[in-house]
Amino acid sequence: MNAVAMTAASPASASAMPPRRVLGAYLAEARSECLRYLRAPGFMLPILLFPGLFYLVFGVLMGKSEGADAARYLLASYSIFGVMSPGLFGFGVSLAIEREGGLLTLKRALPMPPGAYLLGKMLMAMGAAAVVVLMLLAMALGLAHVALTLVQVAALLATGVLGVLPFCALGMLVGTLFKGQGAPGMLQLVYLPMSFLSGLWFPLPMLPKFLQQLAPLWPSYHLDRIALAAVGITHDAVLPHLLVLAGFGAVFFMLAVRRLRRHG
């Protein structure tokens, strides 16, 4: 049976599978993705190293002279900075490489639920985001002596784990537009300027006025506002920011799916 016939048969096979086997296929794919990246130091170390070092220098060492609120503020902002990375790079770069190498075509030919591949990558990114936030929380509580309630800790962790999803969608879109060699550079051009312009490295009032006015254009700005509210720095209404993030994620995801259907 050729690959085209197998691809055509795959959705029917998946729909004919008993629910227990379908669930098992989703869990197996998610487990495979998580183990693959946990065993790749080149993926996990940069994701942990950059936000950890930035928070250690600016939030712990330099933040002591600025007071507890500075360390709390930077905890939220650097958590979002760290959370963006597994969504953009873990999803986008791997998708671009696997498309170019033919692995995505092979996955489509397998008798597995069509959404298992994407779900596995999303769960991997969510797990990596949880590790980043937990690491920064440990530094904030143990080194910077930031006072947080259990509700605030849980709120920041939930913000990071769920907030990675719009960036998974953005990474997925970039992964469908560029090949494996070009995707990392393009994602850096997205990741670093968006972090700076959203006020993740420095508070927004320190930026020029026109850049402050442009900040709401970036999804990272809205996730940062939710994180700041989670740790008690601001009292913004969370729902408008959630709706904007959901809109960003839906648009990026639909564009990426459309691209995959047309170009593979």
Using 50, 70 and 90 to split pLDDT, how confident is the model at 115? confident
Contact between residue 88 and residue 223 where contact means Cβ atoms under 8 Å apart = no
Residue 224, Cβ density class (10 Å: 0-12 exposed, 13-18 middle, ≥19 buried): buried
Identify the residue with better confidence: 151 or 259.
151
State yes or no: pLDDT of 189 exceeds 60: yes
Contact between residue 57 and residue 155 where contact means Cβ atoms under 8 Å apart = no
Which range is most confident: 72-76, 90-94, 102-106? Answer: 72-76
Q: What is the CA radius of gyration of the chain?
A: 20
Contact between residue 152 and residue 158 where contact means Cβ atoms under 8 Å apart = no
Work out the percent of the chain whose per-residue pLDDT is above 90.
40
Q: Which two tokens stand for residue 57?
A: 């220098």
Q: Which two tokens stand for residue 160?
A: 């990071």
Identify the residue with better confidence: 165 or 28.
165
Distance of CA 230 to the CA centre of its chain: 18
Give the Å distances, CA to CA, from 60 to 153, 198, 199.
18, 21, 18
Of the candidate ranges 179-183, 206-210, 242-246, the one whose mean pLDDT is the lowest: 179-183
State yes or no: pLDDT of 145 exceeds 90: no
The predicted pLDDT at position 6 comes to 37
Using 50, 70 and 90 to split pLDDT, how confident is the model at 3? very low
Give the separation between CA 201 and CA 262, rounded to whole angstroms: 38
The predicted pLDDT at position 152 comes to 96
The predicted pLDDT at position 205 comes to 84
